[in-house]
Amino acid sequence: MKRAWYRRIALTVGLASLLGVSAAQEVRWTMATSWPSSLNFHQLAEEFAQNVERMSGGRMVIDVQPSGAIVGAFEVLDAVDSGIVEMGHSWSGYWIGRHPAAPFFASIPMSFEAPMYMAWFYDAGGIELWNRLYQELMGLDITVMPVGVYHPETFAWSNVPIRTLEDFQGLRYRTAGWWADILRDTGVSVVSLPAAELYPSLERGVVDAAEFSTPWADQTLSFHEVTRYYTGPGMHQPAIVNELMINRSAWEALPEDLRAIVEAAAEAMVVRSWSRDLVRSMEAVAFFDESGQERVEVDVETQRALREASFAYLDELATQDAFFAEVWESVQAFYDRYVEYEAFMVPVRAEPRE
């Protein structure tokens, strides 16, 4: 029913933009994001749109709208697929209910870090697998590519310290994607909430602990105001990927030079998001420490236990779906090659100065 409604709306929203391409070669598109306007992800989506407009000499203008302005955070995929909007800025882990392999292109527990993701996407077949998933397996009228890659997330914001699995007992923990299933399998009570609902949920005790993103993003959402502890390392999401979803019919109607500009702007934003998040997250951690927030680290044995649980979970899913198995094998093979290469080529890091 909802998809049919989207299709009907798309007849009036999408057709005009497609006709406009051939008429004047000036394109005005709309992008829906899964983020509140205050979040850095949304602001980086706006920066991407500004870059496209500048690079195209004003021929392509993208109107970026936050979560809730057109559709909700978890409805962006359908809005792009149906043509209500031409673009979406989101996180593919939200689509786990559509296909179990979707989170591979968002974040993999205990696996890919940001440089690994970038190399795998652009030069080891990752983007091709991603588009096969959306177009062939999920049947979507969508072209997809990365538009942001970030460093590890904060493991938890809470008012009790979390160092072991036992510390989770009795807590309601907000997370999403595979990590939600993995923790449920270990007995943790898990809930899923969009970004805009996390601060009030922590403040009112609707959830006892939450993870959302990197320290930079978490600082913009002010989680430190309503919790006492912040916990690392970000084993659940050692890297994060923002996706740029484009309605495929609109994409194919776009002039070739504008398609090249969009692709170049997306690649540039991947690098910029990575570098900016590193600097801003280091600053955020220093801010939390100086503000009296207590830093907690999950103990090594618990990390190892969660890694084993994560890989066992993914191995089991691979027995149930051939495409999932194909992507998981690609990820593991690239990860193994990268780690072996890095161990040989990267020198031992010096200890931080006192």
Pick out the residues of the known binding site for substrate.
153, 174, 211, 237
Report d(CA 157, CA 202) in Å as an integer. Answer: 9
Q: Which of 102, 83, 100 is nearest to 91 (CA)?
A: 102
Query: Who's near 166: CB < 8 A, 6+ residues apart?
Result: none
Question: For the range 314-323, what are the long-range contacts, defined as Cβ-Cβ under 8 Å and sequence gap of 24 or more?
Answer: 314/108, 314/178, 317/100, 320/100, 321/100, 321/101, 323/99, 323/101, 323/132, 323/133, 323/137
3-state secondary structure (DSSP) of residue 243: strand
| CA 56 and chain centroid, separation | 27
Count of other CB atoms within 10 angstroms of residue 108? 28
Query: Who's near 150: CB < 8 A, 6+ residues apart?
Result: 114, 213, 214, 217, 239, 240, 241, 242, 273, 274, 277
The token duo for 260 is 């090249």
Q: Which of 201, 203, 202, 180 is nearest to 192 (CA)?
A: 180
Pairing status of strand 240-247 against strand 87-90: antiparallel
Provide the annotated binding site for Na(+): 212
* Residue whose structure tokens are 């600097």: 279
Q: Which of 65, 89, 241 is nearest to 153 (CA)?
A: 241
Provide the annotated binding site: 153, 174, 211-212, 237
Kindly provide the b/e burial profile for residues 223-251, where b requires at least 16 CB atoms within 10 angstroms of the residue's own CB: bbebbebbbbebbbbbbbbbbbbbbbebb
